[in-house]
Amino acid sequence: MFDIRRFAPVSMVLIAASLSGCAGENEPDVDKSASASAPVTTITAPPRPTLTAANLQPPSQDNSYTRSSNRPKVVVDPCTWVDDAAVQKTGFDSQSRRRGKDMIAEYSFLACNFKKGTDATLVLESSNVSLDEVRTKYVGDIEDLIVNGRPAVKSTKGDPDGCSIDIQTAVGYFGITVRVNTSGRTRGIGPCDGILDVAAELEPSIGTGN
């Protein structure tokens, strides 16, 4: 999680060919009762799962700070783009979904939090801060990774109870941070335990082209 204080649906169209004329000598017979102009059939891929509860919606990214900035708006919203099934596969409770500390300014952050009982918190954050800016901010505490083909960095960002993987997006990064609470530490859970698996599970939620 980059703390500012520390710094269509795809459609496929299948068009039935028009059937006309007579069968040739070496051609199969054609049903002459078939319409000369067959109807067009459209098959549409299902849209991305989007959560629509009012309390989960992101804030507007249109204010005096963003209008004066040359940075792009954040596209991927973790609270409405990441579906329940993906969260459940990471071991966190999808029903604990809550908006995090969104910040809309020159540097913008959209955030969402999830719980794993009392042991740990999963913080998802999408930002228009670049991965290179993260590298510069936390120099000496960065491990470069590839997550499902995307460049990424792993870091504790100075938090002994936290571990982050920030994945590159078209406008910045998609951050995945696990923070272990007191009960988790007591049970020997480390914040970086399995975080690469969590990142690999959630990366597809970013979506192609984002």
| Residue extents of the structural domains in the chain | 49-206
Give residue-wise pLDDT tens across range 72-112: 999 999 999 999 999 999 999 999 999 999 999 989 999 99
Q: Which of 137, 73, 57 is nearest to 105 (CA)?
A: 73
Per-residue pLDDT of the chain (210 residues; tens, 9 = 90+): 544 444 433 333 333 333 334 344 444 444 444 434 444 433 333 445 678 999 999 999 999 888 888 899 999 999 999 999 999 999 999 999 999 999 999 899 999 999 999 999 999 999 999 999 999 999 999 999 999 999 999 999 989 999 999 999 999 999 999 999 999 999 999 999 999 999 999 999 999 999
Q: Which of 108, 115, 207 is nearest to 167 (CA)?
A: 207
Sign of CA dihedral 161, 176, 105, 51: negative
Antiparallel, parallel or unpaired: β 93-99 and 150-155: unpaired
Q: Which residues contact 188 (CB under 8 A, 6 or more apart)?
A: none
Residue 150: helix, strand or coil by DSSP?
A: strand
pTM for the model stands at: 0.76
Q: Which of 126, 137, 172 is nearest to 151 (CA)?
A: 172
Q: Which of 107, 105, 92, 117 is nearest to 177 (CA)?
A: 92
